[in-house]
Amino acid sequence: MIKEVVNQQLISFLKQEFKPGDTIISYKESGTPGIMTPFFVQSKDEIEKITINSFCVNNLAVYLSEFFQSEYYDKTKKGRIILSVKPCDAKSVVQMISDAQISIDKILLIVLECDGVITPKQIKDKIQQEFVNIVTKGNNFIVTLQDKQVISIASEDLKNGKCKEGLLCDLPTYYDYYFIGNEKSAKADKKSKVSPEAPLIQDCISKEEYKMMIENELNKCIRCYACRNICPACFCSDKCIIDKPKLAIPFLDKEVNLANNTLFHMIRFNHVAPNCTECGECERVCPQEIKLSIFYRYFNRFMKKEFGFVPGESDLERQKLLNYRFGEELV
Amino acid sequence: MAKQDLIYLFLCRADKRKKLVEEVEKKFPNIKTINIHCAGRFNPILAFKLLQQKVSGIVLLGCDTGDCHYREGNLFSERRICLAKETLKGFGLDENRLQALWYNPKQIDPVIKSLEEFTNYLSNLANKGDSK
């Protein structure tokens, strides 16, 4: 749950901080219950429309790379980007700074106190039917069903996925951000919540079973590339190798089959593994509900074990595959 | 003799490895050699693409540590290969089908020896029924 106080504090902070030319990236209500949309504010009157609540799932860091790479980006222009994100998304931003994708003096990072977010899918799984409206009240969600029945659900019953484990909630060791909420209590609270690393699926089942499982998952893929487009670590934009049909021999055929799907996901995870912060956006956004967490958990665990590197922890540490310094230990 | 597995050998600094290339072509007709300027220029996703087709093994031959003509190309490559092997493993494929060897351009015998071992390993896999 994200507290209502955070919303009020954020709006009053933004009103002080906003200067003409700035762009605020935040959330607003979309009209569909339980879904928030990213919101871009460029004038002071619109700040009031910003709303932060427990349904703010989107990772806003994606828009940064899009902004800095676009042809409209003018270096001489004075405006900054003011970004209000959850701690887990702040890690993506810090990783992008460490990868030199964005310039620090052009952004203002605001980290919000967060205690887990919820998607409408989680609620649908819980109540097993469609709902018309949903509001938060204290620690509960009040859901209105299609037959005008009203149910109250406690937030503890709903948490699953990435928010349950609390692995991502610790703040990055980056100095230059504003914290909305109580930072000291949030930090202490998160430290106690972090659970020991859960065992990987790869270690629990045999090789044949694992191969079968992957084949089932990858067979579902329709190659819409939504996972690539939403990923803050996939920042090659128009230079992506799978977007080059003009090559004499196209690297990846357009035909959707198991072999091509596997190749696509292999390429993606091979590229993304060094700077994936496990934000889980690729899995959330997948229309076919492929469990991509099988793969990114596996590769992140490998990066930590082999290279001793956790993406998004610090903006000073460079990712290991692109940066080699003499005297550094070899693998 | 059983059907031979197709192997691609990527090697750097081919101008200094002429003798080796001749010997490899004489001894292993199933190995195709491809010249690249430096082992650091080898793209692992090429290995994924090739392994999905009828190629059953890929070897990258680079210079020894500290010997690289471009100072640090092979060091980058070492890390990339490490991740590429893990990628193959994570997607349920045999990570040993991708091999990296680090030898000086002057050394020939150890390369031939490790290539022999690699072909034996692949033919063992093929006999088990795990062929491409």
Q: pLDDT tens, A205-224?
A: 999 999 999 999 999 999 99
The residue that leads in pLDDT, A141 or B131, is A141
Of B49, B65, B86, the CB nearest to A251: B49
Which pLDDT does position A239 carry in this prediction? 78
Q: What is the pLDDT of residue A121?
A: 84
The reported pLDDT for the residue numbered B96 is 93
| CA–CA gap between residue A5 and residue A8 (Å, rounded) | 5
Which of B43, B55, B75, B91 to probe by mutation at the A interface, max A CB count within 10 Å?
A: B91
DSSP 8-state assignment for residue B64: P
Q: What is the pLDDT of residue A113?
A: 86
DSSP SS3 for A186: helix
Does A210 contact B92 at a Cβ distance shorter than 8 Å?
A: yes
Record: contact A207-B87, CB cut-off 8 A = no
What pLDDT was estimated at residue B1? 40
Taking an 8 Å cut-off on Cβ atoms, the answer to whether B79 and A324 are in contact is yes
Backbone dihedral angles phi then psi of residue A29, each to the nearest 5 degrees? -75, 145
ipTM: 0.91
A61's CB contacts (< 8 A; 6+ apart) are A83, A85, A89, A92, A93, A96, A232, A279
Exposed, middle or buried: residue A187 (CB in 10 Å: 0-12, 13-18, 19+)?
middle
pLDDT along chain B (132 residues), means of 10: 78 86 92 92 91 91 86 86 93 92 91 94 84 54
Residues 6+ apart with CB under 8 A from B35: B11, B12, B14
Q: What is the pLDDT of residue B9?
A: 95
Contact B75 A211 (CB under 8 A): no
C-alpha distance from A239 to closest chain B C-alpha (Å): 15
d(CA A69, CA A101): 9
Distance CA A37, CA A27 (A): 6
Q: Is B104 exposed, middle or buried (0-12, 13-18, 19+ CB in 10 A)?
A: middle
Give residue ranges of B with CB < 8 Å to any A CB.
44-45, 48-49, 52, 65, 72, 75-76, 78-80, 82-84, 86-88, 90-92
Q: How far apart are alpha carbons B34 and B2 in whole angstroms?
A: 25
pTM for this structure?
Answer: 0.90
Please report which confidence band the pLDDT of residue A159 belongs to, taking 50, 70 and 90 as the band edges: low
| Max Cα-Cα span within chain B | 43
For residue A298, the chain B residue with the least C-alpha distance is B90
Paired tokens of B101: 């060897």
When CB atoms are compared, the residue of B79, B86, B91 closest to A302 is B86
For A312, the token pair is: 């998004």
- Closest-CA residue of chain A to B92: A211
pLDDT in tens, A51-69: 998 888 899 999 988 888 7
Rounded to whole angstroms, the Cα distance separating B112 from A170 reads: 51
Determine phi and psi for A237, rounding to 5 degrees: 40, -105
Residues A320, B79: C-beta atoms closer than 8 Å:
yes
